[in-house]
Amino acid sequence: MGKIKLTYPDGSMKEVEHGVTGNDIAKSISNGLAKEALAIEVNGEVWDLARAIEQDATVKILKWEDSSGKYAYWHSSAHLMAEAIEFLFPGTKFGIGPPIDNGFYYDIDMGDHTLSPDDLQKIEERMYEFSRRDVPYIREEKTWGEAVSYFKKKNDPYKLELLEGLKNEKVTFYHQGDFTDLCYGPHIPSTGRIKAIKLLNVAGAYWRGDEKNKMLQRIYGIAFPTHEELDEYLTRLEEAKRRDHRKLGKELELFVFHDVAPGAPFWLPHGMIIFRELEKFLRQELDARGYLEINTPMLVKKGLWEQSGHWTHYKENMFYFESEDTTFSLKPMNCPESTYVYRQKLRSYKDLPLRFSEIGRLLRNERTGVLGGLFRVRQITMDDAHIYCRPDQILSEINQLIELITHFYSIFGLVPQYNLSTKPDNAMGHSSLWEQAEANLKQALESNHLTYILKPKEGAFYGPKIDIQIEDAIGRDWQVATVQLDFVMLPERFELEYIAEDGSRKRPVAIHRAIFGSFERFIGILTEHFAGAFPTWLSPVQVAVLTITDAHVEYGKKIVERLKLSNVRAELDDRNEKIGHKIRDWELKKIPYMLVVGEKEMKNNSVAVRRRKKGDQGAMALDEFVQAIQTEIIKKSLTS
RNA sequence: GCCGAUGUAGCUCAAUGGUAGAGCAGCUGAUUUGUAAUCAGCUGGUUGGAGGUUCGAGUCCUCUCAUCGGCUCCA
């Protein structure tokens, strides 16, 4: 056998024996690397370290730090879990068990047996035991027929169904210990690499993700090379729980949910302040950008939805009822109604763009199982807008929207990520319009130096779109804003027109867009992002004035009056409590400023400033404090 | 909607099938306090709802509502 040429990530080349394995390569570089190596990338494909390389190739040893390395690690963890399950519960049928962004899962069918937390514990213990055996993951190529007869003997209908999709192909099996699975791989060298394991929860999951199929039991788990990393991960989960907006919303008295109104919050006074501040901010920004605010009816006749197409495509999500032989519906979207504002009079090309904004309350009949805190509600307050423009105005409108979105999120310290979805197969509308629009969207993103992820064919049937996700303080992504071009749904179905320069009637393009997505969802995200410690401009109470004794109550009242006159939300704490107690209470309420007032302050017309989490800041003249906090509020400063 | 879990005082949680309890909050009183909890007393419940088993149900069973974790959905 001859030699082959390998190219390494640093560009260097090396001649090696034909049939060399990833293990050999790693060892030839260093023993340390060989210990850490999980898999190898060969010409862009991820392979097992034990697999022989038989041609010239570009290679890269993958470690835990590489996402493909992690995937192989978690994939192997899923197999280890399956081995433990099969050992403890013989006869279990296996669906699929892939790695995911955070760990792995396996879908299994255990007949009548329902997994309990106790079972999970047992499986986890068994996994540790099997890991300690430290046996290799072995790859084996099989013919399709061999594979089918294996799973027929094992009586596993799910694997047989998967094999149906691989007919007449070579398939691969992986073994470790007594467990064998149909699997593409790749896998890590041996079970001993899996050191720290935690099975997190059991959930139902439809076979192949189809509602019509049988529901299997899905076990989610995570694994790490060290216990420290596992602990760190579990701590992060705890942190996320601590920030949960449902918990904080209750504690900080922002909103409550009640059985009488599933899927709709009761906004409490403090939550409403945040809501109103966001509205104020939104209106201020939109006014400055030429938006015209409108408000359209909540209750409309069914005919509107028949015309828009919602009655056929969205009916199951709509609330509707009969009254005097007429079917009425609560609006689930604002878009169709905005066309009535457009059509209120004849529009000239000179009138465009028309930017109609609406803070609209929508009602959607979401299925009970999908509701969740403020993130998924039945009653939605959208910061909606519909921009009607000429095709030649698309680019400037998109540019303005990107500027608006970037500005908006920077205020909250949130970083938007952009996804561009292009023409799907079932698209409607002129292809020239599609091409121009997609080019405009791209151009707008690129000229603003924004990186974006292209999602081919994921646009709506009526136009391409840009979806915006934000990453919060602890690295989780949320879908919020959206900018959707629409050539069909509103313009065609509602026969929108404008009079062009040459006197002819032309069709405008509609742009649907939202910045927050919805107030409910956005406030939920903000609550978690800030862990309830809102920046001063959003904080329901901005200043708490704490008196030392009854002798200082009058002075305290004067300060609160002064702050309120300066548009600062202030409250007086003149309770008969020690100062330490008051501080603790307001600190737990996450109020940004506390002003302690006693003898000294009263004498000097000053306040002792204490900042949330930062402690005593020393005394300051009252005027000076008022000025400082006003500036902070006006600038919507993030650092309070 | 589907699978599973949960539901006890305003909140966080206890209570072998045998008298529903604690801490916090609230109220009353004492205390007049200088940077994360002063002390004492008191109030507070159709155990989510409806049925059933039982001498007896917070506890067991059925149904139902809601919430949580997922799945599916989310123009």
Paired tokens of A504: 């002819």
Using an 8 Å Cβ cutoff, are A173 and A142 in contact? yes
Q: Is there contact between A407 and strand B, defined as CB under 7 Å from any strand atom?
A: no
Give me the CA A256–C1' B15 separation in Å, rounded.
28
Average pLDDT for residues A184-201, to the nearest whole number?
94
A201 touches strand B (CB under 7 A): yes
Nucleotide nearest A583, from its CA to each C1': B36
pLDDT tens-digit readout, A252-282: 999 999 999 999 999 999 999 999 999 999 9
Answer whether residue A309 shows pLDDT above 70. yes
* Residue with CA nearest C1' of nucleotide B33: A578
Q: How far is the CA of A207 from the C1' of B2 (A)?
A: 12
Q: What's the one-letter identity of residue A118? A: D
* Pair (A37, A102) in one structural domain: no
The verdict on A512 and A540 lying in the same domain is no
B24 C1' – A475 CA distance, angstroms?
Answer: 33
Strand B closer than 7 A to residue A584 Cβ:
yes
**Are A458 and A375 part of one and the same domain?**
yes
Instruction: Identify whether the C-beta of residue A192 lies closer than 8 Å to the C-beta of residue A131.
Output: yes
CA A288 → C1' B4, Å? 51
Instruction: Give the closest nucleotide to A590 (alpha carbon vs C1').
Output: B36
Element containing residue A16 per DSSP (H, E)? strand A13-17
Does A15 fall in a domain?
yes
Query: Would you say the C-beta of A11 is within 7 Å of strand B?
Result: no
Tens digits of residue pLDDT in A42-96: 999 999 999 999 999 999 999 999 999 999 999 999 999 999 999 999 999 999 9
Closest nt by CA–C1' to A215: B3
Task: State the nucleotide closest to A264 in CA–C1' terms.
Answer: B66
pLDDT band at A479 (very low <50, low <70, confident <90, very high): confident
Number of independent structural domains in chain A = 4
Domain enclosing residue A42, as ranges = 3-63
Residue finishing a domain among A528, A556, A587: A528
In angstroms, the Cα distances linking A96 to A70, A100, A309, A452 are 18, 12, 38, 31
CB A248 within 8 A of CB A149: no
Report the 10 Å Cβ neighbour count for A145. Answer: 11
CA distances from A58 to A13, A22, A49, A102, A188 (A): 9, 12, 14, 28, 20
Q: Is A181 helix (H, G, I), strand (E, B) or coil?
A: strand
Same domain? A57 vs A150? no
- Residue A532 CA to nucleotide B33 C1', Å? 30
Give the position of tokens 């293990």.
A23
Residue A386, helix vs strand vs coil:
strand
pLDDT for A475: 67
Give the integer Cα–Cα distance in Å for A530 and A592: 12
**If you average pLDDT over residues A293-309, what whole number do you get?**
94
Closest protein residue to B36 using CA and C1' atoms?
A584
Looking at every residue in chain A, the average pLDDT score rounds to 93
The gap between A252 CA and B43 C1' (Å) is 25
Cβ pair A568, A630 in contact under 8 A: yes
Closest C1' nucleotide to A313's CA: B75
* Residue A53 near residue A59 (C-beta atoms within 8 A): yes
Name the residues in A73-112 having a C-beta closer than 7 Å to nucleic acid strand B. Answer: none
Residue A386 within any structural domain of the chain: yes
Residue A584: which CATH number? 3.40.50.800
Which residue's alpha carbon is at the shortest distance from the C1' of B35? A580
Q: How far is the CA of A84 from the C1' of B52 (A)?
A: 42
User: Taking the C1' atom of B75, which residue's CA lies nearest?
Assistant: A460
Strands A45-47, A570-573: parallel, antiparallel or unpaired by DSSP? Answer: unpaired
Whether A301 has a pLDDT exceeding 90, the answer reads: yes
What CA–CA distance (Å, rounded) separates A341 from A339?
Answer: 5
Q: Nearest residue to B3, CA vs C1'?
A: A204
**What is the CA A120 to C1' B60 distance in angstroms?**
26
Q: Could you give the count of Cα atoms lying within 13 Å of A428 in the half-sphere of its Cβ?
A: 11
Strand order in the sheet with A570-573: A570-573, A543-547, A593-597, A606-611, A615-621
A169 pLDDT exceeds 60?
yes
Spacing of A576 CA from B30 C1' in Å? 11
Q: What is the pLDDT of residue A505?
A: 96
- Residue A480 domain-assigned (yes or no): yes
A453 and A382 fall within a common domain: yes
> Do both A609 and A572 map to the same domain?
yes
Q: Are residues A484 and A516 in the same domain?
A: yes
**Per-residue pLDDT at A225:** 96
Is A556 among the domain residues? yes
Task: Please tell me the pTM assigned to this model.
Answer: 0.93
Does residue A434 approach strand B to less than 7 Å at its CB? no
Q: Cβ neighbours of residue A312 under 8 Å, at least 6 residues apart?
A: A306
Residues 231-250 of A with CB under 7 A from strand B: 246, 250
DSSP type of residue A635: T
Whether A613 CB is under 7 Å from strand B: yes
Give chain A residues 35-54 with Cβ within 7 A of strand B.
Answer: none
* Residue A474 pLDDT level (bands cut at 50, 70, 90): low
Sheet of A57-62, strands arranged across: A13-17, A3-7, A57-62, A39-42, A45-47
Q: Extract the tokens encoding A352.
A: 């465009």
Statement: the CB of A132 is under 7 Å from strand B: no
* Residue closest to A35 by CA, chosen among A189, A150, A177, A161: A189
Q: Crossing angle for the helix pair A117-133 and A67-88, nearest 10 degrees? A: 110
* Whether pLDDT at A472 is above 80: no
Distance A542 CA to B13 C1' (A): 32
CA A618 to CA A604: how far, in whole Å? 13
Q: Average pLDDT for residues A151-160, to the nearest whole number?
A: 93
Q: Is the CB of A431 under 7 A from strand B?
A: no
Nucleotide nearest to A549 (CA to C1'): B32
A368: part of which helix (H) or strand (E)? none
| Bases in strand B with any atom closer than 7 Å to a protein CB | 1-5, 7, 11-12, 30-38, 65-75
Check residues 516 to 555 of chain A and report those whose beta carbon is under 7 Å from nucleic acid strand B: 548-551
Token pair in block for residue A287: 């006014």
| CATH code (residue A15) | 3.10.20.30
Report the pLDDT value the prediction gives residue A46, as an integer from 0 to 100: 95
CATH code, domain with A101:
3.30.980.10
In a domain, A161, yes or no: yes
Please check whether strand B approaches the CB of A457 to within 7 Å.
no
* Domain contains A262: no
Residue whose C-alpha is closest to residue A193's, from A65, A62, A35, A51: A35
Q: Which residues of A463-475 are buried (b: 16+ CB within 10 A; e: fewer)?
A: bbbbbbbbebeee
* DSSP structure class, residue A378: S
What mean pLDDT do residues A18-39 have?
91
Residue A473's pLDDT band, with cuts at 50, 70 and 90, is: low
Which nucleotide is nearest to A262 if distance is taken from CA to C1'? Answer: B66
Distance between CA atoms of residues A570 and A550, nearest Å: 19
CATH number at residue A421: 3.30.930.10
Q: Which nucleotide is nearest to A465 (CA to C1')?
A: B75
Return the percentage of chain A with pLDDT > 90, whole number.
Answer: 82
Segment among A416-420, A471-475, A601-605 with least mean pLDDT: A471-475
Token representation of residue A126 = 């068994």
Q: Please compute the mean of the pLDDT values over residues A239-254 and round it to a whole number.
A: 94
Q: Nearest CA to A209 among A96, A115, A113? A: A96
**Are A363 and A482 in a shared domain?**
yes
Is the domain of A375 the same as that of A486? yes
Kindly state whether residues A52 and A157 are assigned to the same domain. no
Confidence of residue A362 (pLDDT cuts 50, 70, 90): very high
Nearest residue to nucleotide B66, by CA–C1' distance, is A259
Spanning CA of A114 to C1' of B55, the rounded length in angstroms is 36
pLDDT in tens, A514-556: 999 999 999 999 999 999 999 999 999 999 999 999 999 999 9
Our measurement of CA A429 to C1' B31, in angstroms, reads 79
Answer yes or no: do A511 and A553 share one domain: no
Over residues A560-573, the pLDDT tens digits come to 999 999 999 999 99
Do A149 and A159 touch, CB atoms closer than 8 A?
no
In A244-313, where does DSSP find H-type helix?
245-251, 269-288, 302-308, 310-313
Query: Are A368 and A457 within one domain?
Result: yes
- Neighbouring residues of A465: CB distance < 8 A, sequence distance ≥ 6: A420, A421, A459, A482, A483, A484, A485
Q: How far is A615 from A247, CA to CA, in rounded Å?
A: 25
Please check whether residue A76 lies inside any domain of the structure: no
Average pLDDT over residues A288-308: 95
> Which nucleotide is closest to the Cα of A205 by its C1'?
B71
Average pLDDT over residues A159-181: 91
Q: What is the DSSP letter of A636?
A: T
Q: Which tokens belong to A328?
A: 């009425």
Report the pLDDT averaged over residues A5-15.
90
What pLDDT score does A1 carry? Answer: 61
Residue A640 pLDDT exceeds 70: no
